[in-house]
Structure 1
Amino acid sequence: MINSYVGGVIYDVMAHHGIPGNRAEVLRSTYLPRWRKGGLEAAVVQVSNWPSINAYFAEIDRSEGEITYCRTRADFDNRPEGSFGIFLSLEGHGPFAGDFEALHTLAELGVTTFTFSHNLQNLLCTGSNERFGEGGFSHLGKQTLQELESLPMMIDLVHMSRASFWDALDLYDGDLFVSHSNADALCPHPRNLTDDQIKAVAERNGTIGLNTFRGYVSPEPLKATLSDLLDHAMYMYDMVGPEHLSIGADYCESPVEMLLPVLDMIDPDGAHGIKGRGRELYTYGPEGLEDASNLGAIATGLAERGLTPDEVDLVCGESYLRMLERSRPSKP
């Protein structure tokens, strides 16, 4: 199983790497046991600046082979037996915004994905939670899309306003995906996808990662369950098929105190039911999926809902790997 969105871990990683002289191995000591228990074989982790990239490379190098850095599908398929795969995804709306030459360096380093937003307005586009949510891509955002056309990076449309989403489809000809969102029809929220958006991602050969954040699983988030998330999976399965579904399990992972200011920041006036509720919404996932050690329940649940073993394999990683191979072909 591959999780196409592991965001919160970076706060814990950076906190340890910021201690002078600390040769931190946060992934190996804290997260790999939990991930492996849940059946994960690889994760896509988020980076946003050079220090975060440096920290992950240091973690990988210090792991004594327990972690393999993956640039392509071949890197994942050929990693040593038992080694955990790590892919890097860039949240590019921070210090890299407008640095087009850095994009070429990052692509050469093997960063697989570019993400334009984290829920609010930035230099590149409007996010899903912004008050003027119909805003789309800025001129700089459009120029960034044009630069990315020539690079082997996938474009992740997560966290965007719907206007930004449709701008991206109009402006960019390559494959597009959404790393961690659910179906708006089952849980209305600007972070989830409408039927038209789900179909549009499928038409672009992309996947939609099933998101475990309780506020995006159920209209009553404190009552969210594994069954509710499986309802999202089956809703999208019936619409576009298993080849367009993946796992985008957005868990808190880091100590929740590190994430609370971020959650308040992305919903500053409380319009989306998150501000002031980060601890209760994000400390644990839905019942039956409380943390990443429970992720195997998704595969079991999909099989119980009638998916074949091959279809379950698609959702649990194969769909993501096929998309990656198209964007970033493995070298012979």
Structure 2
Amino acid sequence: MINSYVGGVVYDVMAHHAMPGNRAEVLRDTYIPRWRAGKLDGAVVQVHNWQVIGSYFAEIARSEGEITYCTTRADFDNRPEGSFGLFFSLEGHGDLAGDLEALYALDALGVTTFTFSHNLQNLLCTGSNERFGEGGFSHLGKATLKELEQTSLMVDLVHMSRASFWDALDLYDGDLFVSHSNADALCPHPRNLTDDQIKAVAERNGVVGLNTFRGYVAPDPTKATLSDLLDHAMHMYNLIGPEHISIGADYCESPVEMLVPILDMVDPEGAHGIKGRGRELYEFGPDGIEDAGHLGNLAAGLAERGLRQDEIDLICGESYLRMLERARPGEQHG
């Protein structure tokens, strides 16, 4: 099983690596055991700048083979037995926004994905939680999209306003997907996707990753359950089939105290029900799938909903790997 969005862990990793003389192994000591308990054997972690990339590479090097850096399907399929596969995705709206030449370095390093937004307006586009959310791509964002067509990085349309989403489909001809969003039809929220958006991603051979964040699972997030998340899965299944669904389980991962200010920041006016509710909404996932150690319950739930094993395999990683293989065909890191 592969989780195509592991966000919060980066803050814990960076806090440890900021200590002088550190020899931190945060992934190996804290997170990999939890992920393995949830039946994961691969994950996509978010990187923001060169410092974060260096910290993750240091952790991989110190892992004695327990973690394998993966840039392609071949890397993942051929990793040593029992080794955990780690992919990198750049949340490129931060330090590297506008550095078009850096895209080629990131591509050469094997970073798989470029993400344009984190819910708010930035230099590249308008995010989903912006008060005036109908703005789309800026000129710089359009230039970045154009440059990305010359690389093998996939484009992740998550966190965008709907206007930005449709701009991207109009402007960009390469591989794209949405790493962690649910169905707006079941849980109305600007971060979730309308049926038209879900179908548009599938028409471009992309995938939509099921998101475990309570606020995007149920209209009353305090009552969100695994069954609610399975309802999202089945809604997408009926719209686009299992070959266009993946797992984008956005768990808190890092200590919640690190992440509460970030949640307040992305909803500064409380317009989307997040500000002031970070601990309540994000500390634990929906009942029955509370953290990454319980992700195996999702696969079991899909079976109970009547999916065949080959369909479950698609959702649990095969769909993501097929998309990656199209983006980086025949390549292997190292």
Range into which the TM-score falls when normalised by the shorter chain:
over 0.9
Alignment correspondent of 1:207: 207
How far 1:331 sits from its partner (Å)? 2.8
How far 1:322 sits from its partner (Å)? 0.2
Quick one: which amino acid aligns to residue 230 of structure 1?
L
Looking at structure 2, the residues matched to 222 and 205 of structure 1 have their Cα atoms a distance apart, in angstroms, of: 34
Alignment correspondent of 1:328: 328
How far 1:98 sits from its partner (Å)? 1.0
Alignment correspondent of 2:248: 248
Deviating beyond 3 angstroms after TM superposition, the runs of 4 or more aligned structure 1 residues are: none
How far 1:174 sits from its partner (Å)? 1.3
* Residue-by-residue CA offset, 1:40-75 (whole Å, 9 max, x unaligned): 000000001111000000000000000000010000
Looking at structure 1, the residues matched to 330 and 235 of structure 2 have their Cα atoms a distance apart, in angstroms, of: 33
Quick one: which amino acid aligns to residue 51 of structure 1?
Q
2:105 counterpart of 1:88: no
Alignment correspondent of 1:129: 129
How far 1:159 sits from its partner (Å)? 0.2
* Residue-by-residue CA offset, 1:174-209 (whole Å, 9 max, x unaligned): 121000000000000000000000000000000000
* Residue-by-residue CA offset, 1:136-185 (whole Å, 9 max, x unaligned): 00000000000000100100000000000000000001121000000000
SS in 2 for 1:100: coil
Alignment correspondent of 2:49: 49
Alignment correspondent of 1:105: 105
Looking at structure 2, the residues matched to 225 and 188 of structure 1 have their Cα atoms a distance apart, in angstroms, of: 16
SS in 2 for 1:303: helix
Looking at structure 2, the residues matched to 144 and 233 of structure 1 have their Cα atoms a distance apart, in angstroms, of: 32
Looking at structure 2, the residues matched to 324 and 39 of structure 1 have their Cα atoms a distance apart, in angstroms, of: 21
Identity of aligned residues (%): 81
After TM superposition, the structure 1 = structure 2 runs for residues 7-22 of structure 1, keeping only pairs within 5 Å, are 7-22=7-22
Quick one: which amino acid aligns to residue 207 of structure 1?
V
SS in 2 for 1:329: coil
Looking at structure 2, the residues matched to 330 and 28 of structure 1 have their Cα atoms a distance apart, in angstroms, of: 29
After TM superposition, the structure 1 = structure 2 runs for residues 96-245 of structure 1, keeping only pairs within 5 Å, are 96-245=96-245
Looking at structure 1, the residues matched to 252 and 51 of structure 2 have their Cα atoms a distance apart, in angstroms, of: 21
Quick one: which amino acid aligns to residue 96 of structure 1?
L
Looking at structure 2, the residues matched to 306 and 126 of structure 1 have their Cα atoms a distance apart, in angstroms, of: 39
- Structure 2: any 5+ residue segments left out of the alignment? none
Structural RMSD (CA): 0.6
Alignment correspondent of 2:284: 284
Q: What TM-score, normalized to structure 2? A: 0.99
Looking at structure 2, the residues matched to 239 and 157 of structure 1 have their Cα atoms a distance apart, in angstroms, of: 19
SS in 2 for 1:209: strand
Looking at structure 1, the residues matched to 96 and 250 of structure 2 have their Cα atoms a distance apart, in angstroms, of: 23
SS in 1 for 2:264: helix
Looking at structure 1, the residues matched to 313 and 161 of structure 2 have their Cα atoms a distance apart, in angstroms, of: 31
Looking at structure 1, the residues matched to 35 and 47 of structure 2 have their Cα atoms a distance apart, in angstroms, of: 19
Looking at structure 2, the residues matched to 268 and 127 of structure 1 have their Cα atoms a distance apart, in angstroms, of: 13
* Residue-by-residue CA offset, 1:8-34 (whole Å, 9 max, x unaligned): 000000000000001000000000110
Quick one: which amino acid aligns to residue 97 of structure 1?
A
SS in 2 for 1:53: helix
Alignment correspondent of 1:27: 27
Alignment correspondent of 1:299: 299
SS in 1 for 2:71: coil
